[in-house]
Amino acid sequence: MLIDSHCHLDYFTEAELPGVLQRAAEADVAEMVTIGTRLDQAPASKALAEAHPQVWCTVGVHPHHAGEAPVPAPEAIAALTEHPKVIGIGESGLDYFYDKSPRDVQQASFRAHIRAARLAGVPLAIHARDADDDIVEILRDERDNGGDFAFLLHCFSSGRPLAEAAVAMGGYVSFSGILTFPRSEALRDIARDLPEDRLLVETDAPYLAPVPFRGKRNEPAWTAHTAKVLAQARGLGMAAIADLTTENFRRLFQKTA
């Protein structure tokens, strides 16, 4: 059994969703997490998760949207996790590649989400792109001054220092279809070397379809292709990597256990 720890099911129409879920089940992707990118999306995410027992959800503001409204109070974000199917917060973080929101606003939103995760006792899904140093600095500052919180770096494609710093702070690292790309040798080396109890897999569907589906719209069923490459990088079989990543998912997202 595999779990897609990060996807965006709201990108699929009501007509498409049954087929998406069926193909996931046929690929032994038994559960998935649909991720929040705006707080006003939360009611729809909760309804989707309520309607499908294999679907969980998170709530949060993507850094691309951080500048569209005032930064929410941590308490307001945390309150949205009281629903039983809301198992985490995010995705939040920093994206200095597209810079769709001012960097200071992204940073303020990221800190608010960290504090919400701490208040709610659920993990934070972190988006990190071209902002490794600031991600590490903010994580360390919030941890040192506010206390521990659970988190994962989703769709990891950054450098080794960020991965190692995150793990040192108790974080997890989730790999997407990028791991399967021919030019991702350095990323596969990182995946090989990280502690086995910190590894997750995801699709980030509908984005970043893995080999052999590059260029197509991604979906949760294809988690298996990323898991296969992760297994190869670590010298494991598919059953072992499925058991490992599922166990890690349960440990991190404790509401699903």
- Joined together, the tokens standing for residue 255 give 């509401």
Element housing 192 (H / E): helix 185-193
CA-closest candidate to residue 152, choices 135, 177, 133, 134: 135
Q: What is the pLDDT of residue 67?
A: 97
Instruction: Encode pLDDT of 129-174 as tens digits.
Output: 999 999 999 999 999 999 999 999 999 999 999 999 999 999 999 9
Q: Which two tokens stand for residue 55?
A: 């679907």
Residue 103: CB atoms within 10 Å: 16
**pLDDT value at position 193?**
98
Q: Are 5 and 202 in contact (CB under 8 A)?
A: yes
Task: Calculate the dihedral angle through the C-alpha atoms of 188, 28, 56, 115, rounding to the nearest 10 degrees.
Answer: -20
pLDDT number for residue 20: 98
DSSP states of 70-103 = PPPPHHHHHHGGGSTTEEEEEEEEEETTT--S-H
Q: Considering the chain, what is the average pLDDT of its residues? A: 98
pLDDT reported for residue 102: 98
CA gap 219, 213 in Å, rounded? 10
pLDDT of residue 83: 97
Q: Give residue-wise pLDDT tens across range 185-211.
A: 999 999 999 999 999 999 999 999 999
Residue 215's pLDDT is: 93
222: confidence class by pLDDT, cuts 50, 70, 90: very high
| Per-residue pLDDT, 86 | 98
249 phi/psi in degrees, rounded to 5: -60, -45
d(CA 215, CA 148) in angstroms, rounded, equals: 39
Q: How confident is the model at residue 183 (pLDDT cuts 50, 70, 90)?
A: very high
pLDDT tens-digit series, residues 96-130 = 999 999 999 999 999 999 999 999 999 999 999 99
The CATH number given to 2-256 is 3.20.20.140
Q: Is 13 helix (H, G, I), strand (E, B) or coil?
A: coil
* Range 221-245 burial, b when 16+ CB lie within 10 A, else e: bbbbbbbbbbbbbbebeeeebbebb
What pLDDT score was predicted for residue 34? 98
What's the pLDDT score for residue 98? 97
pLDDT of residue 252: 98
pLDDT of residue 242: 98
**pTM attached to this predicted model:** 0.97
CA–CA gap between residue 37 and residue 90 (Å, rounded)? 7
Indicate the domain borders of the chain.
2-256
